Each structure stands twice: as structure tokens, then as C-alpha cells.
Amino acid sequence: MGRVKYRPLIAFVHIQKAAGTTLKFILKNSLGVRHSDVNPVAPPPDRPFDTSDLAFVRSTNPWLCSISGHEIIEPTRHLGDAVQPFTMLRDPVSRSLSHYQDKLVRGRRRITFEQFVCDPANRNFQVRKIAGEEDLDKAVRLLRERYFFVGLAERFAESVRILQALCPYSLDIRYRPKNVAADRSISDALASEPDAIDRLNEANQLDQRLWDYVSDDLLPELAQKAGVSRSEPLPSLGSLSFPWRFHASRVYHKLVYRPLLKRERRLRAAQA
């Protein structure tokens, strides 16, 4: 039998608190059930998503052409040529402040700012998502050579228009902001403390250099390649519009993918 030929698969490296949930809305509202949020099958749950996990997702979705997830880490290594990766970055200090606040609001245990900033997992978070380690040169090389797109949360409209032009699939770029913190009191309080900002700057020096590189060099190159010269606001999805593709994607995820993922995890645990 011949090798199965799959349609091109784009993979969104979803970096926490970098406008990723809003971008995922665009992906889901454009691609419907062809998009899937993904998680690793085998433990631990935060390990990099790999080709065995991808094979499982494909078994649940014959139409798959787009995936996204926080555990899509260093996809150029763990997924190889099976995917076309892309991502969105954010100013490192702003992202870290939002990430810390999110951990306090959503987390099961409260952590101090000192614990957060001293945790190696929170240092140069964006570089490590892309390169798998704190290696700026590697991250830059991968973004330039292997990623078909990288955008900036601070230039969201421009970034999405570039993505729309470069993506192998048609994207409806009307959107609704998602996962925006209603109360920013924690991050705002830290932002007013010079010592806290100094600590975050020190912990994210490589991330800052990566952000600067994308802002000054790579994003303008991608804009030229895409023929995007203006950054007009994106069209919003009116409150009366029903984003049926978005809801179809959610139904698939909740009623098909998640139940099958849980069953597969139980089966593997029983066999271990």
C-alpha cells in the first residue's frame, strides 16, 4: 500500500498570553472542524507534542489541516516536516506580567512573584518554546528558515493580515477578542514597581532580543513578501453574527477529540 498523503498541516505554537486565544478564534472560525487544539496523549501533560500524538489526532479527524496548543514546543524537532509552524510573540515583560497574573487567577496554588521569576520554566519563555532551550541563535534561525509566519501581539492587525496572505488556507480575519483579563490589578501593580520590572528584564534578555529581531527585521520582511503595506484595524465580528465554523470546531473538540483522548489515556495507563 502507498503512503497516506495528508493535506498541508499548519501548527500554531501557542505562547501563553501573547494574543494566541484571539488568533485561535480566527483559525477555528475559518477552518471549523479542520482545526484542532491538541494535547499530548502520554504523560506528562506538559511534554512536547510529538509525531505519535499527531498520529492520534489524525485518527480522530480525517479533515485535519490546522493544530494549535501550548505543548507544541520546538515543533521543528518533535514534529519535523509533518507541520508548517507559525507563532505570535509579545513584549517579554508585558507577557510575563500577564502570565503571572493568569497563574494567580487560574492556578490551583498561589505562587509569589519571587517564585515565578526564579522558576527556570519562566525564563526566556518564548525562545524556549521555539528552540526547546535558551538558545537565541537557534530560535532566530528556526523562525527564519522553518516558520512560515511569526507575528507580534503589539502589531496584531498587521500580523494577522500577513498571516492571511501567507497561510495555505483561506482565513476569515473577522474576530472577537478572547481571553482578555477583565481585572489587571495584579499585573498593573507589578508594572509600577521598578524592581519587579528589572527582575523580569533580567530573566527575559533573550526573549527581548528575539522580539526586537522580529519587530525590526523579520516582520517587515514578511510584510513585504505578503504585500501588506497598511495595518488598518481588523474587521470585527458583529454581535449578531453567528460564527458557526468556530462553534463546529468547539463541538468537535468537546464531543469527539477530548473524549477519545481521555479514553486513549486510560487504555495506555491500563497497559503500562
**pLDDT for residue 1:** 45
Predicted confidence pLDDT, tens digits, the chain (272 residues): 456 677 899 999 999 999 999 999 999 999 999 999 999 999 998 999 999 999 999 999 999 999 999 999 999 999 999 999 999 999 999 999 999 999 888 876 688 999 999 999 999 999 999 999 999 999 999 999 999 999 999 999 999 999 999 999 999 998 877 656 657 788 888 988 999 999 999 999 999 999 999 999 999 999 999 999 877 777 776 654 678 999 999 999 999 999 999 999 999 999 87
Radius of gyration of the chain measured on its C-alpha atoms? 19
Measured at the CA of 177, the angle between CA 34 and CA 53, to 5 degrees, comes to 35
Euclidean distance between CA atoms 152 and 134, whole angstroms: 20
> DSSP string spanning 91-111?
-HHHHHHHHHHHHHHH-SS--
Give me the residue spans of the domains in the chain: 10-91+133-182+207-271
